[in-house]
Amino acid sequence: MASLPVLVVSCDRYADLWRPFFDLFWRRWPDCRGPVYLGSNFVAFDDPRVRPLLVGKDVTWASSLRAMLDRIQSEYVILMLEDFFLMETVDNARVEGLADVAIAERVGCLRLYSIYPPEHPVAGHSDRTSCHR
């Protein structure tokens, strides 16, 4: 599997969350192989492991997200929000395996954490991960 980019969607007004988010991110997912991006408006996060995606004025959340995605050269991306703190160690092999399945099956959305059962399960994968076509 090619290493998927991780996009953390944020904006400048939530910059106070970036340090705790990334402290936990690197502690809980130390073997994340994809490039890690932080999308914001004008302010970059001071960490050489995090690539800034500065999109300018915050018009709408959706337009900012679209501008961020347009700057990432990948058909697939792992999307996170800056206030979704990782509370457990990420099983990188499992994430990569699920991403492989999602890519092979051409699913539209793969939720890596869900409290709800899958709406459209992918055949042969019965865990609580949800796939949307």
Structure token digits, residue 59: 């018009």
Closest of 45, 40, 36 to residue 5, by C-alpha? 36
Which of 8, 11, 16 lies closest to 32 in space, CA to CA?
Answer: 8
| pLDDT per residue of the chain (133 residues) written in tens, 0 to 9 | 557 999 999 999 999 999 999 999 999 999 999 999 999 999 999 999 999 999 999 889 999 999 999 999 999 999 999 999 999 999 888 888 888 888 888 887 777 766 666 666 666 665 545 555 4
The CA distance from 128 to 2, in Å, is 24
Q: Per-domain residue ranges for the chain?
A: 1-90, 91-133
